[in-house]
Amino acid sequence: MSRRIGIRFTLISLFHISLFLAGLCKAQDHSPDPANSISSARQQKKSVNLANLSLEELMNIETKVSSASRQSESLAHAPAAIFVITAEDIRRGGFSSIAEALRTVPGLYVATINRHWWTVSARGFSDYVNNKMLVLIDGRSVYTPEFGGVYWDTQDFPLEDIAQIEIIRGPGGTLWGANAVNGVINILTKSPAETQGVSVASSAGWNEGYTASVRYGGRRHESLTYRVYGKATYGEPGFLPTGGRAQDFMNLSSGGVRADWTISDKDKLTVEGQGYSGGFRNQAHGYRTPTSGLVTIFDSATVQGGHFLSRWSHIFSERASMDILGFCDWTDRDSFATEARSTCDVELQHNWQLRPRHSLILGANEWTSGARVYQSFTFKTNPVEERTNIAGVFGQYEFMVVPDRVRLIAGTKLEHNTYTGVEIQPQIRGVWTPSPVHTVWAAVSRAVRTPARYEMEVEYQLAQIPGPVPTFLTAVGNPKLKSEALRAYEIGYRVNPSEHVSLDATIFYNHYDNLTNVNLSNPMSVAGRPIVHQNPTYVQIPVPWQNLSAGQTHGAELYVKVAPIKRWQLATGVTELRGNSVNLNDTLNLPVANTPRHQFNIQSRLNLSRRLDFDSGLYHYGGIAGYRFAGNVAQDVPVHNRLDVGISFHQVRGFTFSVWGRDVTADQHWETRPFLFTTTSSETGRMVIFKLTWQSQAEKGKDD
């Protein structure tokens, strides 16, 4: 088996290298026109409409990122494994959700659990909660401490408003704090100045459902711009393996507003707010009462929430600036695990250019979150109400050892949280740029994941043991848990030899300590004293969450982008992941094995004419082995492939029309399996999606 995997990886790698060499040969055969040089493209980036550029010209535009160092820098020279999804990538990909767009990222595993639940993970540890990924939207964390993850079903706003999505694979705890262990996803939206006028978008299709959104952007005067939007989404249910439809449809309505005010040459204020309301239906397995046995629960739930955010940016001088960010959000999920939560955060960041070769970033934040979880037999918390606080300071120093060639970066974050006390997350990074087109970087980092509330305070029925009296293995919270800790070692290489080709490669080794889990292979060995209940009579055998194990993962990620001809661009990424464990008692095997060992995708962007595009995406996912627990069986997720094909006709009197076929070559199938037998995964299948958008001349011509 390992030999076959090695051969497969070799063949895939050779394919990527061949693409790279093809693009390199193209670069040698065609001397670049100075008018189309990278430097010219940088100057023109803000003055041209991206939709009017050729694919070759788009590759020339230098991409700036801010997530790797908390300051703007070139993607080509960033000291981290970072990938960017641009607004043009989203338009050309025909994606219907943020999670869907993340499929194209090398090193990420993205799959649907059912119609409205997603798993999005980096470098292993894939499940519904994905507790080692930190997700930000315009600097606002959407990580929930209840389960330790992200509710992707409520992260819904017009995709046309996204400027770019920056994805870091690997730890980001030094700059972003706890829970940025395996990665950071930073979703950045466009400014109101970039979304002036009216925009209307609607999509509908077979096996897909529909979305409809409308947005208006305006200005009161030159210094104040704003936009408002509304959106409605309905997702059709998936399929059951036995035939027919699953019970997992969803609907969500949302609306929001953002305003940017340029107070002076040195001050800028951003204010935004959003609200949403909807419902979903979910098919799950659980124990409704002590005597019901394991039953299928059709969980009809409602969800509502919103947030308010403000950011003030001040420039002291050419060498110093400051940002203050504050937000509050709230959510109320009425489900079998009903949660009402409010969260507030305030953050200060100060940037200094101390000398031409020295820079410093200092910051501090205070985050607090409180919730009430309503009780059921399946899911209880003790206490019912809780409040969690995290306060921290961070600093990062950068020294240009050799100007424009060698940089050293060192920093750390010191945090105190309610559950585990003080945590330290340091990092050291180095960047070597031997020439403008080559970058080599390396990093050693530490990051932590603080325990989620369900690991500290929740009582959850795992399985029923056969017998005359109903007896349950019950996962119980453990207030003595420690934070999970990661030590990560990474090396990366990037090369952009011409406007026709680029390559990005990363290898990594991760070592985890204090991994949290329930002993699934031998739960009775750690079980507490049985608890006997009356009226009705049943017995609970408590099995605590524990820091049971340590483990390692290692792997490689490769991304190549080429433009073989002026109108055609190919991009392809490959991911290989391996893991092993120390004293695991079969606990790490679940989350690591829940991620395919190998994946690759190929994205094709072809301009058939000035107004007609033909795009496609091919995805390959390795299989996921099944396992058993307490008499339950998690079936294998087989190897599967996915082909998406779309054609779009755009910029005709402001209209763009596209048709996409999703998963066109596959019958209905699972993409991943349920989490701990509670949620029933529905199968996905072929989809056809029609999308129509219209933009008023104000927006359409803003970059002309």
d(CA 159, CA 157): 6
Q: Is residue 47 part of a domain?
A: no
d(CA 294, CA 566): 59
The string of pLDDT tens digits covering residues 321-345 is 999 999 999 999 887 667 899 999 9
- Is the CB of residue 167 less than 8 Å from the CB of residue 105? yes
d(CA 276, CA 155): 10
Report which of residues 184 and 629 the model is more confident about. 184
Confidence class of residue 442 from pLDDT cuts 50, 70 and 90? very high
Pick from 108, 111, 100: nearest CA to 674: 111
pLDDT higher than threshold 80 for residue 370 = yes
Q: Is residue 45 part of a domain?
A: no
pLDDT the model gives residue 573 = 96
The DSSP-derived string for 243-262 is SSB-S--EEEEEEEEEEEEE
Cα 134 to Cα 72, 98, 230, 295, 567, distances in angstroms: 20, 15, 26, 34, 37
Report which of residues 700 and 233 the model is more confident about. 233
Residue 325 belongs to domain with CATH number: 2.40.170.20
Q: Kindly state the average pLDDT of the residues 427-454.
A: 96
Q: Is residue 54 part of a domain?
A: no
pTM of the model: 0.89
pLDDT higher than threshold 80 for residue 375 = no
pLDDT higher than threshold 80 for residue 416 = yes
Cis peptide before 383 (omega within 30 of 0): yes
Confidence class of residue 667 from pLDDT cuts 50, 70 and 90? confident
pLDDT higher than threshold 80 for residue 440 = yes
pLDDT the model gives residue 348 = 97
Q: Is residue 49 part of a domain?
A: no
The total domain count for the chain is 1
Report which of residues 697 and 72 the model is more confident about. 72
pLDDT the model gives residue 550 = 86
pLDDT the model gives residue 670 = 79
Q: From the DSSP assignment, how many helices (H) and strands (E) are in the chain?
A: 9, 38
Q: Which region, left, alpha or beta, applies to residue 207 given φ > 0 means left and ψ of -120 to 50 means alpha? A: left
Strand partners, 417: 390, 421
The DSSP-derived string for 529-541 is --EEETTTTEEEE
Report which of residues 442 and 593 the model is more confident about. 442
pLDDT the model gives residue 685 = 82
pLDDT the model gives residue 421 = 95
Q: Is residue 44 part of a domain?
A: no
Domain limits at 154? Answer: 2-31+63-700
Share of the chain above pLDDT 70, in %: 84
Q: Is residue 198 part of a domain?
A: yes
User: Over 287-339, what HEC string results?
Assistant: ECCCCCCEEEEEEEEEEEEEEEEEEEEEEEECCEEEEEEEEEEEEEEECCCCE
**Eight-state DSSP code of residue 669:** B
d(CA 282, CA 301): 8
Q: Kindly state the average pLDDT of the residues 681-689.
A: 85
Confidence class of residue 54 from pLDDT cuts 50, 70 and 90? low
pLDDT the model gives residue 237 = 83
CA–chain centroid gap for 684, Å, is 21
Confidence class of residue 586 from pLDDT cuts 50, 70 and 90? very low
Report which of residues 23 and 483 the model is more confident about. 483
Task: Map tokens 């080692």 to a residue.
Answer: 132
Q: Is residue 219 part of a domain?
A: yes
pLDDT the model gives residue 522 = 62
The string of pLDDT tens digits covering residues 511-528 is 999 988 877 666 666 667
pLDDT the model gives residue 260 = 98
Pick from 70, 194, 170, 52: nearest CA to 121: 170
pLDDT higher than threshold 90 for residue 316 = yes
Confidence class of residue 295 from pLDDT cuts 50, 70 and 90? confident
Q: Is residue 408 part of a domain?
A: yes
pLDDT higher than threshold 90 for residue 13 = no
pLDDT higher than threshold 80 for residue 170 = yes
CA–chain centroid gap for 452, Å, is 18
Q: Kindly state the average pLDDT of the residues 593-604.
A: 89
Confidence class of residue 624 from pLDDT cuts 50, 70 and 90? confident
